[in-house]
Amino acid sequence: MVEGSWVGLDVHARSVVAGVLDAGSGELRTLGVPPESELTVAWLQTLPQPTHVAYEAGPTGYGLARACAQVGIACTVAAPSKIPRAPGDRVKTDRRDAERLARLLRLGELVSVRVPEPGEEAARDLVRAREDARGDLMRARDRLSKLLLRPSRSRSRASSPATAGPVM
């Protein structure tokens, strides 16, 4: 049996919650860790080795996975849609998510996603931002056109005083 630590991280922009499963003792503990990748990796290096880490892919990107790889820590970026969940389990907290990730990582039940190169990630972010802006523009145009269809606002019914005459 491999000793070491199995860590599930619930990563957000301003906070990171870690669920740490110690393979030797079986103890599971939860604590907050620094949200900056470098500080998180430094903390991970203090745990009993080898350390295995997992977090869900999301808007925070892949910087943490790259930082872990640079120092030799095995990091799995899990596909959120592929994480097993019990049918009645609807309560989501950072602590429970971190602990679940640590347990599933230990069992080998996580499906990982490919970590893109920094340039590829930047290009993806730019394309997604453009698509979001275009979608926002289309929704705004649609709302405006629907507003103009209302009888009190319709261009076809509105007439200027200069052209107004008797209705026949």
103-131 per-position pLDDT tens digit: 999 999 999 999 999 999 999 999 999 99
pLDDT surpassing 60 at residue 168? no
Cα 112–chain centre separation = 14
Tokens linked to 130: 């453009």
129-162 per-position pLDDT tens digit: 999 999 999 999 999 999 888 887 655 555 555 5
User: CA of 119: how far to CAs of 8, 52, 88, in Å?
Assistant: 27, 26, 40
pTM of the predicted model as reported, rounded to 2 decimal places: 0.75
Q: Can you tell me the mean pLDDT for 17-26?
A: 88
- The pLDDT value recorded for residue 150 is 83
Collapsing DSSP to helix, strand or coil, 50 comes out as coil
79-106 per-position pLDDT tens digit: 999 988 878 777 788 999 999 999 999 9
Q: Tell me how far apart the alpha carbons of residues 47 and 102 are, in angstroms, rounded to a whole number.
A: 14
pLDDT surpassing 70 at residue 6? yes
